[in-house]
Structure formats: C-alpha cells, structure tokens
Amino acid sequence: MGEADQNERQRKRVSKLCRQSAKINWIEKAAAITAAFFVWGICAKLLDQKILLAGPWDVLGVLSTLIGQGFFWQTISFSLLRIALGLVLGIALGCVLAILAGLHHTVEVLLWPYVSVIKATPVASVIVLCLVWFSSSTISILISFLIVFPIVYTNVLSAIRNLDPQMEEMADVFALGFWERLLYIRLPQLESYFLAALQLSCGMAWKAGIAAEVIGIPARSIGRQLYDAKLYLATPELFAWTFVLVCLSVLFEKAILQFAKWLFALPGRSLR
Amino acid sequence: MIQIDHISFSYPDKTIFHDFSMEIGQGERICLMGPSGTGKTTLLSLLTGHLQAESGSITGIGTCSISMVFQDDRLCKRASAVQNILFGCCRGMMPQMSFEMLQKENDRFSQMARRDRVICHLDRVDLAQAADLPAEKLSGGMKRRVCLVRAMLSESNLVILDEPFTGMDSAHKRQAIDYIDQSLCGRALLMVSHERQDADTLGARIVCLS
C-alpha cells in the first residue's frame, strides 16, 4: 500500500502544480469581474450617454425590475427550453450517426455532403431559409440543432476512428463482453472528444439560437426582447438582456458539462 | 499443442520471419529471447491472431484459449485492479490452486467468491491493499502485477507473458516468478524476457530469435 500511497501523493503534487500554473482561481476571477465592472462604469460615466453605453447601475436597475416580472421568467424559459431541445437533439443524432458512420463507411460517405453543407453554410442563411420553411417559434430549436449536430458528429467520429486498437486486441484475447468493452474500454476513450464537442456546442447553440430569435422574432423570446430594445433604443434593457444571456450561457454550459462528466464517471464509480 | 510451420512475415520495411518453425507442447514452458526488433512480440501477435502470416501455418491455436500480459499494460484505467482482473476472467477462472485451497475451503464461484479469489491472488504479488484502486492510480510496477494476475487467473491453456517483469523491483520480481511458477497448473507458458535467469528459474526452454 506504501507504493500506492506514494504514487497517489506524487500524482496530487503534480496535479496541484499544474492547477497552480494553468488555472485562474475563483478569487482571481471575482477580482477580474469587479475590475471589468469598474472599467465599464468609468467608460459609461465618461461618455455620459445612456443611449450609447448604459452603465452597470442602469443595467442592474433594469434587471431588478425585470426579475420581479412573470414575463421575464416566461421569456427565459421559452428560449432556454428551445435551445436546450435543439442541443439535446443535435447531441443525440450526432452521436447515433457518428457511431453508424464509424461502423459503416457507406454511412459516412452518404452523410458527408449533408455534414459538409451544414458546416459550411453561414448561420444567417440557414436562419432565413428556416424561416421560409418553419414557424418562428421553432427556429431556435432548428438552428441550435444545426449548429450542434456537425460538431458532435465530427468529434465523436474522430474519437471512434482513434479508438486504441491495442485495447481492442486485449478485449479479444480475454473475450470481453459487449458491455465491458463499451463501458470500460470505449467510453473512456470517447470522453475527451465528447466533452470538447459539448463545451463548444453549448456556447455556439446559445449564440446561434438567440441570433435566430433576433431574426425570426418569435413572441416571448429573449431574441424578441433584444430586438425590441434595439428598436426602441432602450440600451439599458439591451444590456440587461445581454447580461442575462451571458449568465444563462455560462450556467447552462457548466450544468451540461457537469452532468456529462458525472455520466462518464458512473461506470468507474459503480466498480469501487 | 501448437505447431508453427514454416511461417514468413514481413513489415513493409523489414522481413521478420522467413520459414520459421516452432512447437509449443502441452504444459511446456518456453522463453523467447533475442535483441529488440527480432520479432518476439510479432510472434505473439501472430499467435493471438492479430497479425496474419504471409505463408506457412499455425495449427492448434484455434482450439487453444490464451491469456496474456501485453508489453504495455492495457488496463481499463477507470476500473479497479479487481475489476480489471475479473474482466479478464470472462471465460472463467482457473480451477482452485493449491495455495487457495489453504485459504478458502468452500468456493461457490459466486460474485463474492470470485472477488475473494482475485484478492487472494493479488495478495500473492503484494497488491491486496491496492485491490480497489482504479488502474490509473497504480504505479508502473503495480500495473504489471495486476496484468500478471489477470493472465494467470484467467482460464486458458496457453499463458503468454511479454516482458512481464518490466518496472518491478527485485523483491517483487522474485515474488512474481514464484507466483507464475505456482499458478501455471500444467498450462503452457510462452514468455518474452531479456534475462536468461528468468527462464532458468521457471525451468523454461529458451528459444533465441535473431
């Protein structure tokens, strides 16, 4: 056990050193955010034109009014649910088709034109095209799906292509069953690719989904609120909704990533 | 048991085997020796079926089940030492061995008994207390010993060990050699090693590749 303890201590020491050198801790983050607010406040004060640059206090004032209103939460739920639905559909279909493409080269060839077109087409063109075909209330689902799908598909397919053949050889020699191979050999190898895709997808889905709402202006959506704020030159509202969007995007990404990490850790946890 | 008849095998830039023959008898212990790059690991891959000979034949391998220590560890990093060994025993575990009989009278092959058996074997190589640690937290030498237990405990008639003592200190290596000797139970052994003493201690016939 001494050897294991020593090994564990060494691992912790190295990971602590890596953390110290690579990551920004929460105190540093809080200080940086405070400084950014301070700079923002000074700029707004110097410019002194709310219509061009609303200050942090103006935005906080608008936010405190919005939070107390029912429509604020309805608006957030509308956009959040639709973007989340698009994200989930994109992840599910991206994974399923990547697995099929990884197993059968013909599927990969047949999907190649669709994936290439989706990847290459500018989001604005897709939004306008989708508005021709579908109602504006479903636009954010479609757009977030179309943004997420190629990212997840490409990453999961790369992961499948890069599965370690030596581990497969080991599984063959010891006649491992399907579930053992999947849970303990293949999934751990897919994890880093999938999490990278997920991290990228979450941010992109929010940006594209809201952009679609701004163009499609469905009722009771965040995009509609941004559009209206711009239309009536209500800059503090515009900033307040943008602030809400940034917070939602960060929380959404963190929640999804934590859930995915928890899912990937399940097989290992069940063994101990 | 296994007959390798006049096989030839080449990589794109190098011929490894030309008209090579060898026989592995039932319960025979063989140690493959030779400088790096002479095809020791390639021969093992030909036996496991992951490489195909260009000509010649390998007979008897189809009816033979193999357990193996690979040159690299090939453990599931998230799974514990015990679980990695249990995966390797999908086909089943070797029947009771003498040293286990002393420790456990009534093995009913239940999941718990299987775990007990694995821990008993891990104890033979001084790893019982690391049984539930995930493989990614084990040191190089500890991983080799987990691989060794996996290969020895898995039901097979041919045990292949590709440089099994890499990363082990001398005390653990001696322990591992004793463990192999006691756990073979009449199975054939094909081991790759760079030290003649390992072969002599295990009473293995030396086959030199050059």
Would you say how long chain A is, in residues?
272
The per-residue pLDDT for B8 is: 92
pLDDT < 50 stretches in chain B: 98-99, 101-103, 105-109
Distance from CA of B151 to the nearest CA of A (A): 9
Domain count, chain B: 1
| CATH number for the domain harbouring residue B93 | 3.40.50.300
Task: Please state, in angstroms and rounded to a whole number, the distance separating the CA atoms of residues A205 and A79.
Answer: 11
ipTM given for this complex: 0.82
**Chain A residues 128-187 with CB within 8 Å of chain B:** 166-167, 169-170, 172-177, 180, 184-185
Which residues of A fall within a CB distance of 8 Å from B138? 4, 7
Domain range holding B117?
Answer: 2-208
CB contact under 8 A, A4 and B142: yes
- pLDDT per residue as tens, chain A (272 positions): 456 666 667 666 666 665 555 678 888 989 999 999 999 999 999 988 888 888 888 999 999 999 989 989 999 999 999 999 999 999 999 999 999 999 999 999 999 999 999 989 888 888 888 888 888 888 899 999 999 999 999 999 999 999 998 898 898 888 888 888 888 888 889 999 999 999 999 999 999 999 999 998 888 899 999 999 888 888 999 999 999 999 999 999 999 999 999 888 877 665 54
- Nearest 10 degrees: CA dihedral of A204, A205, A209, A212? 50
Q: Chain B window 42-101: which residues touch A at a Cβ cutoff of 8 Å?
A: 45, 48-50, 65-68, 70, 72, 74, 76-80, 83, 87-91
Res A268: pLDDT: 61
CA distance, residue A185 to nearest chain B CA (Å): 6
Predicted pLDDT at A7 = 64
pLDDT digits (tens, 9 = 90+) for A57-72: 899 999 999 998 998 9
Angle between helix A139-161 and A123-133 (nearest 10): 130
For the domain A51-271, what is the CATH code?
A: 1.10.3720.10
Domain limits, chain A: 1-48, 51-271
Q: Are B134 and B77 in contact (CB under 8 A)?
A: yes
The count of C-alpha atoms lying within 13 angstroms of the C-alpha of B38, restricted to the half-sphere facing its C-beta, is 13
